[in-house]
A and B are shown apart, each in its own frame.
Chain A
Amino acid sequence: MLAAVAAGDTAACNELVRRHQGAVWRTCRALTASDQAAEDAMQETFLAACRGAAGWRGEGSVRAWLLGLARRQAARTWRRRKGEPVAPVPLHELGSLAGWGRMEDPEAFVEALQDRRRLWAAMDRLAPADREVIVLRDLEQLTGPEAAQALGIDLSALKSRLHRARLRLMAELQADLRHD
């Protein structure tokens, strides 16, 4: 299909949008934490895809390629904050924030997970680097190599980043529950 898109076939381009709009929307929405910014990033993603289809090298899936484009478009809406601590937080400290070693109310946590708005709100509070790894691996279920390529990191870094990002998401949900 990308060959037809590259050749300027409008129907093929529309089909590309139809097939992948959900994944691109979710990625843009998660990474920008804003409906309007997500729409802008999504438009730019598909424009870039339709204009640049000829440059696709056929490595990995079309979806992984599109989500890589979406990530780059969404990244324009945020900058990595300066002055963030570079020393990694020990895993057990992240775990503690996420409820590890605490007898939290398990039912309240599971209920919170069923609440899509609450889940999105917790995602929106994460740093972009945490959001993007959760989006690519857990939400869109790219393979490890596909996600690592999209993020420009190696597999072991991806794995570590994903585990920590999940713990931070759990910590956000726990903090939210404590405010109830």
Chain B
Amino acid sequence: MTEPERRPEPRLVGGLWCTDVLACLDDYVAGTLSPELAAQARAHLAGCDWCARFGGRYAATVRAVRERLGAEEAPPEVSRRILARLGRER
């Protein structure tokens, strides 16, 4: 497998460096950035394909944990054994 292309250097786009965007991605995804910083982050992501791609993967990861793993229920036999034990030991 060939090594993926690497970005030469972090860039200043929309008033933020790529490193600034990396540091605030969590707040950006959660929608908890200040309006000013959110506008700068949007401008950066619109002009920096590297950060836009990574930001998309970051958001997709958060969503996948919630939706894919969060949908899992306890196996029915596990629940049955727990209820049986609670009945015996309480």
A and B found bound together: yes
Chain A interface residues toward B at CB < 8 A: 8, 10, 13-14, 17-18, 21-22, 24-26, 29-30, 35, 39, 42-43, 46-47, 50-51, 91-92, 95, 98-106, 109-110, 113-114, 116, 119-120, 123, 134, 138-141, 159, 162-163, 166-167, 169-170, 173, 178, 180
Which residues does chain A contribute within 8 Å of B15, judged by CB atoms? none
Chain B interface residues toward A at CB < 8 A: 1, 4-7, 10, 18-19, 22-23, 25-26, 50-51, 53-54, 56-58, 60-62, 64-66, 68-70, 72-75, 78-79, 81-83, 85-87, 89-90
Q: Contact at B26–A91, with CB atoms within 8 Å?
A: no
Q: Contact at A166–B61, with CB atoms within 8 Å?
A: yes
The residue from A35, A42, A166, A178 contacting B62, defined by CB atoms under 8 A apart:
A166
Which applies to chain A's interface (DSSP): helix, strand, loop or mixed? helix
Q: Contact at B60–A110, with CB atoms within 8 Å?
A: yes
Q: Contact at A39–B81, with CB atoms within 8 Å?
A: yes
Q: Contact at B74–A22, with CB atoms within 8 Å?
A: yes
Bound complex: CA A158 to CA B27 (Å): 13
Q: Contact at B61–A140, with CB atoms within 8 Å?
A: no
Bound complex: CA A20 to CA B67 (Å): 17
Which residues does chain A contribute within 8 Å of B65, judged by CB atoms? 119, 123, 134, 138-139, 169
6 residue pairs A–B, Cβ–Cβ below 8 Å:
A17-B86, A43-B81, A109-B60, A110-B60, A166-B58, A173-B61
Q: How far is the CB of A115 from chain B (nearest CB, A)?
A: 8
Bound complex: CA A166 to CA B58 (Å): 8
